[in-house]
Amino acid sequence: MKNKFRIVSFLAAGILFFSGCKTSDVGNENNFIEKHKPKRINFGNTIGLISPASYISDSQLNEAISNFQNLGFNVKYNPAIKDKYGYLAGSDSARAEDFNEMITDKDIDAIVAVRGGYGCARMLPFIDYELIKKNPKIIIGYSDITSLLYAIYEKTGLVCFHGPVGTSTFNDYSIQHLQNILLEPRENYKMKNSYTDENQIVVINEGIGEGELVGGNLSIVVSMIGTEYDIDTKGKIIFLEEVGEEPYRIDRMLTQMKQSGKFDNCAGIALGVFKNCDIKKEDPEFENSLSLVQIFNDILGDLKVPVIYNLSFGHIENKFTLPFGINARLDTKDKSLTLLEKAVE
């Protein structure tokens, strides 16, 4: 049945830039939250490990511990990190409780997920967002952790980080970006693909765009639409990555984002690596599919904003660390993403 009437409400809002702060539309309540940044970390600080999504094995936990100890950090975790409830790392409330404890633990300087998988969205209602406001810390993860980053940024205004999980590959490239953003922050920090990257950058739409960074894993970003944790993308640079999804699924998710207005008046779109998503020529269904570049051109090509594909973030070894809410510049000519302000205090 068609709706005969539509009620539309308008809210005029000013954007304030002062001391690195901003206003943000929270959920569906049209309230505003001031952006704030966590404190930087130093070598010798303590990393708190969590498993907010899929359960982890002993080997994965040990790998995460080893990774951060080798970088020069101390590591702490609660016994709940090894819980298991089906495919989840414990019940929704238990995982949230573990996270809340990490937030209030004075010994913890930054919180990192051991892995992604699935399950973060289920625990979002149990998180104490007031605790996060009172105890702002660096929070890092990607993939399924996208939903956690979304909720924290939307509910508290805390800048959080789409970056390596505990079991990621910490090579020189990824470590350098992590260090330049979290330990030795600088303004106008330019991020470009490494010369050794196999993935060649493709420019879909030329141009330069500036705005706050928001985004993450495409599947998770789409799943946030219609929830109280979704983020207003107007005036923002949206970054997206994916892994293991067939081209038609990528098509469907981008189409949903476009038709739901997520690309309306955005400042630009930075596409990372869509690992194992493109169809290969030797695939028997190759002639019956579209390539990712064709899909990106079809769906994003008519947008009047810069769009670039294959930047170094996603389920790959050479990985950017991307801060939610930090003003950035996307430049397709230079094939770069530049952070215009420091992400930590």
Q: Which of 241, 242, 245, 341 is catalytic?
A: 241
The distance from CA 218 to its chain's CA centroid, rounded to whole angstroms, is 10
How confident is the model over 105-152, as pLDDT tens digits?
999 999 999 999 999 999 999 999 999 999 999 999 999 999 999 999
Cβ neighbours of residue 294 closer than 8 Å, sequence gap 6 or more:
none
Same domain? 65 vs 166? yes
Tell me the sheet residues that pair with 32.
25
Active site residue 315: yes
* Cβ–Cβ < 8 Å for 328, 211: yes
Amino acid at position 222, single letter: V
* Cβ–Cβ < 8 Å for 270, 207: no
pLDDT in the model for residue 31: 60
Cβ neighbours of residue 141 closer than 8 Å, sequence gap 6 or more:
52, 112, 113, 116, 148, 149, 161, 162, 163, 165
Same domain? 93 vs 133? yes
Same domain? 155 vs 200? no
20 is a domain residue: no
Active site residue 143: yes
Q: What is the CATH number of the domain that holds 324?
A: 3.50.30.60
253 is a domain residue: yes
36 is a domain residue: no
Same domain? 165 vs 223? no
Other C-beta atoms closer than 10 Å to the C-beta of 64 total 25
Same domain? 108 vs 151? yes
Q: What is the CATH number of the domain that holds 81?
A: 3.40.50.10740
Reference 165, options 182, 145, 141; nearest CA is 141
85 is a domain residue: yes
- Sign for the CA dihedral angle at 42, 330, 324, 195 comes to negative
Q: Which of 120, 144, 173 is the last residue in one of the domains?
A: 173
- Residuewise pLDDT in 10s, the chain (345 residues): 434 333 333 333 333 333 333 344 434 445 678 999 999 999 999 999 999 999 999 999 999 999 999 999 999 999 999 999 999 999 999 999 999 999 999 999 999 999 999 999 999 999 999 999 999 999 999 999 999 999 999 999 999 999 999 999 999 999 999 999 999 999 999 999 987 676 799 999 999 999 999 999 999 999 999 999 999 999 999 999 999 999 999 999 999 999 999 999 999 999 999 999 998 888 888 889 999 999 999 999 999 999 999 999 999 999 999 999 999 999 999 999 999 999 999
Same domain? 195 vs 331? yes
Active site residue 246: no
CB-count exposure of residue 203 (10 Å: 0-12, 13-18, 19+): middle
Q: Which of 143, 168, 174, 219 is catalytic?
A: 143
32 is a domain residue: no
Looking only at Cα atoms, what is the longest distance across the chain? 63
CB-count exposure of residue 25 (10 Å: 0-12, 13-18, 19+): middle
Same domain? 204 vs 110? no
What is the span of the domain harbouring residue 88?
A: 46-173
How confident is the model over 267-284, as pLDDT tens digits?
999 999 999 999 888 888
d(CA 112, CA 46): 11
Same domain? 257 vs 310? yes
Same domain? 243 vs 286? yes
State the pTM of this model: 0.90
4 is a domain residue: no
Tell me the sheet residues that pair with 212.
236, 327
pLDDT in the model for residue 172: 95
235 is a domain residue: yes
pLDDT in the model for residue 322: 99
Same domain? 208 vs 331? yes
1 is a domain residue: no
Number of domains, the chain? 2
Residue 157 exposure: Cα atoms within 13 Å on the Cβ side: 17
Amino acid at position 262, single letter: K
Same domain? 228 vs 306? yes
Q: Which of 139, 173, 207 is the last residue in one of the domains?
A: 173
Q: Which of 117, 146, 173 is the last residue in one of the domains?
A: 173
Q: Which of 54, 147, 212, 315 is catalytic?
A: 315
